[in-house]
Amino acid sequence: MVGSVWIWCLASSCAISAGTFTVAADGSADFKTIQAAVDAAPASGGSISIRPGLYREKLVINKAHIQLRGTGTKASDVILSYDDSAGTAGGTTKSASVTISGDDFYAENLTMENTFSRTRPLKQEGSQAVALKITGDRSVLRNVRFLGFQDTLYPTGAGSRQYFVDCYIEGNVDFIFGNAKAFFENCEIHSLAHQVVYITAQSKLHEDEQSGYVFDHCRLTADPDAKVVYLGRPWRACSTVVFLNTKMETPIAPQGWHEWEHDGKPSLPTVFYAEYKSSGPGANPARKQLSDAEAKRFALAAFFDGWNAAEVR
């Protein structure tokens, strides 16, 4: 028996129930790597407790109902780290330090990072370096830090509902990007030093696609050398991003959003970019503002079609 996984058999049938695995980088637990614990978990999933330490591994989770729980006193005590890039791995998607495709994923109290650009210059091509790519539905990430530079966090998969709460996300170019239905609550979004910073590059492809990003009661902060900060630019022509009750503590380019043409056509006329009750130096009432009634459409339960992500622990 590993951790608390147990097996029972009755007549000719046998079932396995997921329990708790423990991982420690020093080898003092059930497993030394997180990937080994994930691989050992049954198809029904499992809860993996991770002791403080640095776990340098390229982690892939394609099973449903996997939970990663850092056991340190803070999120920085448990670090999942790697340093691939689009140039070294053969594409942005392949660069991810952590890749999650299983539904009902849960993570708390840990850090996911891609360190590729920490000691290398940011280039126009090949420097995309993803900390987390996540496509699973009904995913919850609570008190997780995402560290990177270009393309840090990749919440993607049209219709996939992903809830980020009490998280810290940093980067400089398109550092939250993709086409998931992602909701960010009480998160700090931090722009790193760069000449031009784009916080989001949401990629909703057509009007009927179940896709968009909502930031609710978040904080936008930045390094002093983040020269010009935009709320985002459209990776696809129907890009959808809404900021609700967000404290924009750093100055934001007055127009808020930057054009990104596709097939020679401007995209800003077809996107949905809006705000509701923004505050701080970066707020600008001249940008599109939602009414009280319009803002209700982007509340957590409404946005997730009734799924109460806040109750998942």
User: pLDDT confidence of 235, banded at 50, 70, 90?
Assistant: very high
Whether the predicted model's global pTM rises above the 0.75 cut = yes
pLDDT tens-digit readout, 141-160: 999 999 999 999 999 999 99
- Give the pLDDT of residue 250: 96
- Give the pLDDT of residue 119: 83
User: pLDDT confidence of 210, banded at 50, 70, 90?
Assistant: very high
Rounded mean pLDDT, 291-312: 96
Rounded mean pLDDT, 92-106: 98
Q: Out of 166, 174, 216, 225, which one is annotated catalytic?
A: 174
Per DSSP, helices labelled H in the chain are 34-40, 86-89, 292-296, 300-303
- Chain mean pLDDT for the chain: 93
Catalytic residue flag (residue 174): yes
- Give the pLDDT of residue 4: 40
Q: Which residues of 290-308 are buried (b: 16+ CB within 10 A; e: fewer)?
A: beeeebeebebeebbeeee
Which comes out higher in pLDDT, residue 124 or 165? 165
Contact by Cβ (8 Å): 202, 211: yes
Q: Out of 151, 216, 225, 263, which one is annotated catalytic?
A: 151
- Give the pLDDT of residue 123: 75
User: pLDDT confidence of 3, banded at 50, 70, 90?
Assistant: very low
Given a cut of 80, is residue 1 above it in pLDDT? no
Taking the C-alpha atoms of residue 163 and residue 4, their distance in angstroms, rounded to an integer, is 28
Given a cut of 90, is residue 18 above it in pLDDT? no
Catalytic residue flag (residue 216): no
User: pLDDT confidence of 168, banded at 50, 70, 90?
Assistant: very high
- Give the pLDDT of residue 120: 84
Which comes out higher in pLDDT, residue 272 or 7? 272
Contact by Cβ (8 Å): 229, 250: yes
Given a cut of 60, is residue 8 above it in pLDDT? no
